[in-house]
Amino acid sequence: MSIRPLFAAMAILALAGCATDPAPVEQMRLTEQALEQAKAVGATVDDVPELKLAEDKFKRAQGNMQDESYKHARMRAEQAELDARLAEARVLTLKSQEQLNVLQSRITRLRKQLGDAQ
């Protein structure tokens, strides 16, 4: 009677123990790829805060993998993947904006010269 709560607590702990996920090897690979891709388009830790987030989380996920704490590893790696993808998207958007600005200033210059030429 008096020992029942202890059983309950142990059962919960045991359940949590059983619920360990398999090692998220594929997810780790995906995250690493996303990080590489973000860097390949020119994202840097200093300019894009999301990339810093992604790298920190990925490092912690690697630590979790070593400790065989696979659920944490998977969650961190999943978040890191999307952080990296967002970093990549931000850089690409910024680049497209710069491209637009260059075109805009060229057009302004052309218009001005056309005005002068006539």
Partner 1 sequence: MNRITRVFSGALVVACTGLYGCAGQHSEEVLQQAGSDFQKVKEDSSVLRIAPKDVIRAGESLARADRLSSYWGSGADVVHYAYLSQRYSEIAREHTEQVLNEERAAKLELERQRLQLALREAKLLSVQQQGKWLEEQIISLATTQTDRGLVMTLGDVLFDTGEAELKNSANRTVLKVVQFLQLNPKRVVRIEGYTDNTGDKQSNLQLSRDRAQAVADMLVDLGIDEKRIKVEGYGDDYPLEANASERGRAQNRRVEIVFSDEKGQLGAAR
CB of 38 to partner 1, least distance (A): 12
Whichever of 7 and 36 has its CB closer to partner 1, that residue is 7
Residue 35, token pair as written in the block: 């990080």
DSSP result, 38-73: HHHTT--TTT-HHHHHHHHHHHHHHHHHHTT-HHHH
Whichever of 12 and 25 has its CB closer to partner 1, that residue is 12
Residue 40 to residue 55: CA distance in whole angstroms = 14
Whether residue 35 contacts residue 80, with contact meaning beta carbons closer than 8 Å, is answered with: yes
* Residue 56 neighbours by CB distance under 10 Å: 14
CB of 16 to partner 1, least distance (A): 9
Q: Which parts of this chain interact with partner 1 (CB under 8 A)?
A: 2-3, 5-6, 8-9, 12, 75, 78-79, 82-83, 85-86, 89-90, 92-93, 96-97, 99-100, 103-104, 106-107, 109-111, 113-114, 116-118
Whichever of 65 and 87 has its CB closer to partner 1, that residue is 87
